[in-house]
Structure 1
Amino acid sequence: MLFDILGLIVVGLIIGALARLILPGKQSISIVATLALGVLGALIGGFIASLIGTGDIFELNVLGFVLAVVAAIVLVGAYAGMAGRSNRAVR
């Protein structure tokens, strides 16, 4: 179970970096936030894939990986949008 969680974190870090690279434009969020959103995206992708019946939440297969990247892109985009909005309000 511990190795499953560590594996999910490592894959989540990769997914967060991929989401940041795929998302167009400049995102003014920290790398830690990007990586955390990648881990969250990996959890979401694994959960959706397990609901579909393609594996366990910790068993991130191809479909789960694609869903995780899409979820991370949405999360990074939403977070960057909210962070950008709060930066504009301060100025």
Structure 2
Amino acid sequence: MLNIIGAIISGLIVGWLARYIYPGAVPMNWIATILLGIGGSLIAGLVTSRGSSEFSRAGCLASVIGAIALIFLGRALHIGL
């Protein structure tokens, strides 16, 4: 249960940071922001984890970059972002 709550909170923070850093307006609600952040974290985790499950600042930065990449991909494919 705590893992799910932690994923939601970190997804909200990562998604908000990605929306803040991304140039231009990114109109979406808070649920889409959470899903964007969780998706960015998953992408970054698959790319950078190398079998490690501990917290790192580089992993947080990679999560935000992954979420920004999802915003860019969604806009390029015209998927409601």
Common fold: TM-score over 0.5: yes
Paired residues, number: 80
Separation of aligned partners in 1, 2:59 and 2:17: 15
Residue 79 of structure 1 aligns with which residue?
74
Which has the greater radius of gyration? 1
Contact kept in structure 2, 1:46 and 1:65, CA below 8 Å = no
Aligned partner of 2:58 among 29, 51, 63: 63
Provide the TM-score with structure 1 as the length reference. Answer: 0.70
Q: Taking structure 2 as the reference length, what is the TM-score of the superposition?
A: 0.76
Aligned to 1:17: 16
Unaligned ranges ≥5, structure 2:
none
What residue ranges of structure 1 are gaps of 5+ in the alignment? 85-91
Quick one: structure 1 residues 47 and 9, their matched pair in 2 at CA, closer, same or farther if it must change by over 3 Å? farther
State how far apart, in whole Å, the 1-side matches of 2:4 and 2:30 are.
20
Q: 1:42 deviation in Å? A: 1.4
Query: For 1:14-73, what per-residue CA distance to the aligned partner results, in whole angstroms no more than 9, with x for missing partners?
Result: 00000000000112333322221111111222333322x5x21xx442111111000000
Q: Is the 8 A contact 1:16 1:37 kept in 2?
A: yes
